[in-house]
Amino acid sequence: MKFDKDGNVTTFEKKKMELYHELSLQARDLRFQHLTSITARNNNIIIRMEALKAVVTPNSLLVLDFRGLGLERWLVLELAPQLNGDHGALATHSLPFEFRALEAILQHRVNTLQARLNEVHPVILDILESLVDPKLLSADRSKLHILLQNSKNLSELETDIKVFKDSLLKILDEEEMIEELCVTKWTDPRVFEESSLGIDHAEEMELLLENYFMQAEELGNTTRELKGLIDDSESVIFINLDSHRNVMMRLNLQLTMGTFSLSLFGLMGVAFGMNLESTFEEDPKVFWLVTGFMFLGSGLIWRRLLSFLGRHLEPTVPPQIPTVWKRNQINSKGGEVKSGLR
């Protein structure tokens, strides 16, 4: 366990029980049951943000079980100077200690979420960009796999952002809980008097929490947009693949038509190739006649089939309606909203 006070950092080990006594808390209170929670108990703020567990007292910040979580760097290099206050890095540097501690932790949490988003965001955009490339005949399946994993990470990130927002919202919805979070106000009588003179800690606390709520909201908006983009891209990929297939199928059909024509008239050649007497054997003109008929016939039949295909794929009724529809839309909607402005 570790101790951080107005700038001095102390690390020590303590039994849980001693700690409870010192803070006059009950074992129940320090169970840190949910992944994300901020609660006030006996003028202490108990915070848990995934791996980070902390207790804020009016003049110190205790970070519990901090080892092996990859948090050491942040604790030593960033948290200490921020709490110190002289850095000016925090918006609340002129406010009591609990504000500084809370802001530092919330900011760390938002930064973590942001970092996770920043990691996933460009990867997804890159993959989508290469997948929707209209030149591709088939989707690269290893990229699809990476997309699926990132999309899964995105869902988890979305859940974490939602949980973070909900835990802040729960506090923001109850005036009373905001009051309880201003621990200095209740312990320091001087501050308490001041607060009745207008310098309101609760209002500052609300602004602080609201600020981080809004930041989480923006992160949430970005993830939602990203999910929408993945969905839209998937539709486009499907249309792309389907279009490619249709084009290939038409080519295939045209060639099948050609093969059919050739088979049909080839049959004639095969007939004359039989070792049967057809009485035409001796006439050299017949050779040219039949050969010419075979090739020309094939060609003609093919051409007829192709033009038949062309006609077959066109719809029966000319669709004159869409043009009207579009104009209509722009006029009625755009116009209405415009005129509604004045």
Q: What is the three-class DSSP state of 250? A: helix
Instruction: Decide if 6 contacts 84 (C-beta within 8 A).
Output: yes
Question: Given candidates 270, 296, 304, 307, which one binds its own copies under the rule CB under 8 A?
Answer: 270
Interatomic CA distance for residues 6 and 281, integer angstroms = 115
132 binds its own copies (CB under 8 A): yes
In the bound state with its own copies, the residue whose beta carbon lies nearer, of 63 and 113, is 113
- Please report whether residue 176 would count as binding its own copies according to CB under 8 A: no
CB of 160 to its own copies, least distance (A): 9
DSSP state of 89: -
- Residue 87 lies near its own copies (rule: CB under 8 A): no
**201 with 153: CB under 8 angstroms?**
no
Task: Report the C-alpha gap between 309 and 249 in whole angstroms.
Answer: 12
Position among 68, 70, 189, 340 found at the interface with its own copies (CB under 8 A) = 340
SS3 320: coil
Answer yes or no: are the C-beta atoms of 97 and 59 closer than 8 Å: yes
Nearer to its own copies (CB atom), residue 77 or residue 249: 249
Q: Which of 232, 300, 303, 307 binds its own copies (CB under 8 A)?
A: 232
Nearer to its own copies, 189 or 315 (CB): 315
> Is 247 near its own copies (CB under 8 A)?
yes
Pick the piece of the chain touching its own copies (CB under 8 A) from 2-10, 66-74, 107-115, 179-187. Answer: 107-115
Site membership for its own copies, residue 24 (CB under 8 A): no
**Whole-number minimum distance, CB 109 to its own copies, in Å?**
12
* Both structure tokens of 329: 């839309």
* Residue 301 Cα distances to 223, 261, 295, 308, angstroms: 58, 6, 10, 10
**Shortest separation between residue 188's beta carbon and its own copies, angstroms:** 21
Segment interacting with its own copies, rule: CB under 8 A, options 5-13, 69-77, 178-186, 218-226? 218-226
Q: Is 49 exposed, middle or buried, given 0-12, 13-18 or 19+ CB atoms closer than 10 A?
A: buried
Question: Interface with its own copies includes 331 (CB under 8 A)?
Answer: no
Residues in contact with its own copies, total (CB under 8 A)?
Answer: 140
Tell which residue, 17, 22, 31, has the closest CA to residue 3: 22
User: Which residue in the set 8, 10, 24, 159 belongs to the binding site for its own copies (CB under 8 A)?
Assistant: 159
